[in-house]
């Protein structure tokens, strides 16, 4: 059979039953602002590190909500903690504290 250049892509389905709820609740307790995020993207738009790396707090929050902890960690590990996102956040979320707590809770072995 001839190859026509098409193939099946791997499934990107997220099984929400396998999410580690204990870590999520621990993160919510450490940083209640996590639940206030409306995913407006202001933090990602102003990010200085985002020009050079793939840092995206908005995407990392979505990954955590979907149980993709490793993907969230890989996005946030290059954050410079400069605080520009903290100043611009319309909900007043302490984004620096949020990022440090995400790295602390999900970076544990």
Residue 2: inside a domain? no
Taking a C-beta distance cutoff of 8 angstroms, is the pair 94, 101 a contact? Answer: no
Burial class (CB in 10 A: 0-12, 13-18, 19+), 15: exposed
Residue 95: inside a domain? yes
Domain, as residue range, for 93: 38-106
Residue 45: inside a domain? yes
Residue 85: inside a domain? yes
pLDDT given for residue 16 in this prediction? 78
Q: Domain count of the chain? A: 1
Residue 19: inside a domain? no
Q: How far apart are CA 78 and CA 99, in angstroms?
A: 11
Residue 11: inside a domain? no
Q: What is the pTM of this model?
A: 0.80
pLDDT given for residue 1 in this prediction? 58
pLDDT averages per 10-residue partition of the chain, 109 residues: 72 77 91 91 90 90 90 91 93 93 84
Residue 22: inside a domain? no
Residue 47: inside a domain? yes
Q: How far apart are CA 10 and CA 19, in angstroms?
A: 20
């Amino acid at each position: 059979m001839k190859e026509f250049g098409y193939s099946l892509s791997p499934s990107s389905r997220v099984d929400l039953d396998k999410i580690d709820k204990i870590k999520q609740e621990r993160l919510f307790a450490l940083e209640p602002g996590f639940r206030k995020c409306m995913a407006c993207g202001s933090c990602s738009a102003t990010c200085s590190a985002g020009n050079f790396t793939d840092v995206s707090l908005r995407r990392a929050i979505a990954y955590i909500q979907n149980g993709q902890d490793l993907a969230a960690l890989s996005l946030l590990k290059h954050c410079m903690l400069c605080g520009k996102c903290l100043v611009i956040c319309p909900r007043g979320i302490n984004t620096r504290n949020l990022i440090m707590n995400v790295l602390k809770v999900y970076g544990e072995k």
